[in-house]
Structure 1
Amino acid sequence: MTHNDSPLLQARGLTKHYGMRLGCADVSFDLYEGEVLAVVGESGSGKSTLLGLLSSEVEPTAGSVHYRMRDGAVRDLFALSEAERRFLLRTDWGFVRQDARDGLRMGVSAGANVGERLMAVGARHYGRIRESALDWLGRVEIEADRIDDTPASFSGGMRQRLQIARNLVTRPRLVFMDEPTSGLDVSVQARLLDLLRGLVADLGIAVVIVTHDLAVARLLSHRIMVMRQGRVIETGLTDQVLDDPHEAYTQLLVSSVLAA
């Protein structure tokens, strides 16, 4: 982890109601540069709502999210204009979606999927863009001769690796990941996790990863937040929480994994 003393992202009292239904309630935490935070819990625990709030895709009922920009200014995400928010998502942030089809442009080539992100940060030289795209395809273990193929012709695991390349090519400081390994074969999952862990560590990226899989949390994250019914019920260093959970619900989650 890097050593900037001020948080990269600060969430305070984040709450979201969908009519009478609670999405999440009163979630507060700080995230620092290079830190990986896993948000875990069963389906309906509020973790995906929280990810939507943090990435400013969902408006909160109450609470705030502040982000430290590259110039050092700390901005309230919900006070940004739509254009500023979109620019953040294209440049300083990444978002790896659960279904790669939601995070890729399926009708354009693999190279164009990666190149588009570079163009968003001002790259204009076609040769250099293509060179960077090739370099990144190599990093995510996609053969160079697939650069002109569309993601529609790729396997699920390849699409997910391409989505990772598309997100990381601009060297974002913060990446959101929503169940990035779900729906993939176990062997494909293992390879993808290994790849992700290496890239995140090499680039020093801060990550918020939502997962129901505690093995994913253990492998990738420094810290963990356990959610249940919209609330954070336990938080701490990943190994400490998973090896010695205090809350009965966390104990149940851990034991159900051990028993599986």
Structure 2
Amino acid sequence: MTDEPLLRVSALSKFYGSRVGCENVSFDLWPGEVLAVVGESGSGKTTLLNCLSTRLLPSSGTASYRMRDGQWRELYRMSEAERRFLMRTDWGFVHQNPADGLRMTVSAGANVGERLMAVGDRHYGRIRATAVDWLSRVEIDEDRIDDEPRAFSGGMRQRLQIARNLVTGPRLVFMDEPTGGLDVSVQARLLDLLRGLVTDLGLAAIVVTHDLAVARLLSQRMMVMKDGHVVESGLTDRVLDDPRAPYTQLLVSSILQV
């Protein structure tokens, strides 16, 4: 692991008029580290994720990313084209609803292949072979490569979206409720798959979730948000086993009582 972070966030805030989306959020993310951002609906976690991934521009604050050449770039000073290129190559974004992250009217293989073409691969045979390999890694049979995602189950669509995001070897992946809306048995299988891939590939990831079990399984560190503010942060096991903020204690106890 390098002695420098991958992402540095300082005093990041987003306001919608007088309403707080998120306020004064600061943290460093290290290569290979998974950070979970947890909180109830409306806590600001998705606003924060959208600001970090440059889908939203913040009202104030900075976020700097260390590029592959070692140079630091301030995300909100990059051009729109530069940010889009980053999203297609060095970053991934796994949506809660897979339809938001897939092209539903092209084949599964084309969904994966498009990302490879975005980084300059033009060799059809190599693209297809890589797509086959990645479909197998996310437990989709090779004979489904020419099927459209519309013919897939929710769990298969989410696994395809993961393959599409990871095929270019990104260094940072954003995940917005990656198991939301899936049956419990499908969730467990998907989480197991995600954990294995993140570990094998040495990915850094920021995972937004309201599910503390997801946070415990995937992340080394977590931040708890309430009303747009970070109320507690630390190593995941410490936060969940010894919560200090009253709100975190309430979250943890409500899970234990279910």
By the TM > 0.5 criterion, same fold? yes
Work out which of the residue numbers 182, 185, 194 in structure 1 matches 2:183.
Answer: 185
1:45-194 equivalences under 5 Å are 45-194=43-192
Per-residue displacement from partner, 1:191-226 (whole Å, max 9, x unpaired)? Answer: 000000000000000000000000000000000000
The CA RMSD over aligned residues, in Å, is 0.4
1:142 match: secondary structure: coil
- CA deviation string 1:95-149 (max 9, x = no partner): 0000000000000000000000000111110000000000000000001000000
CA distance in 1 between partners of 2:207 and 2:144 (Å): 29
Q: Does 1:34 align with 2:32?
A: yes
Say which of 198, 202, 206 aligns to 1:204. Answer: 202
Is the aligned partner of 1:19 residue 2:24?
Answer: no
Q: Which amino acid aligns with 2:182?
A: L
Pick from 235, 238, 243: which aligns with 1:237? Answer: 235
Q: Which residue identity lines up with residue 72 of structure 2 in the other structure?
A: V
Q: Partner of 1:255: helix, strand, or coil?
A: helix
C-alpha displacement at 1:84, in angstroms? Answer: 0.5
Q: Secondary structure at the match of 1:130?
A: helix
Q: Which runs of 5+ in 1 are unaligned?
A: none
Amino acid at match of 1:104: L
Q: Distance in 1 between the 2:230 and 2:236 partners?
A: 14
Aligned residue type for 1:50 = L
C-alpha distance in 2 between matches for 1:108 and 1:37: 33
Match of 1:7 in 2: 5
User: Could you list the runs of 5+ residues in structure 2 that have no partner in the other structure?
Assistant: none
Q: Percent identity?
A: 73
TM normalised by structure 2 equals 1.00
The Cα shift of 1:20 comes to 1.2
* Residues in 2 aligned to 1:257 and 1:120: alpha-carbon distance in whole angstroms: 42
Counterpart residue number, 2:41:
43
Distance in 2 (CA, whole Å) between partners of 1:9 and 1:152 is: 35
- TM-score norm. by structure 1 comes to 0.99
* SS of residue in 2 equivalent to 1:135: helix
Letter aligned with residue 229 of structure 1: D
Provide the rounded CA distance (Å) in 2 between the counterparts of 1:29 and 1:184.
30
SS at match of 2:14: strand
The letter of the residue matching 2:157 is: R
In structure 2, C-alpha distance between the alignment counterparts of 1:213 and 1:177, rounded to whole Å: 13
- Give the whole-Å Cα distance in 2 for the aligned partners of 1:178 and 1:259: 26
Give, as a single letter, the amino acid of the residue that structure 1 aligns with 2:75. Answer: L
Q: Partners in 2 of 1:75 and 1:6 — Cα distance?
A: 14
Mapped partners of 1:155, 1:203: distance in 2: 26
Question: What secondary structure sits across from 2:43 in the alignment?
Answer: coil
Which SS does the other structure have where 1:37 is aligned? strand
Deviation at 1:56, TM superposition (A): 0.8
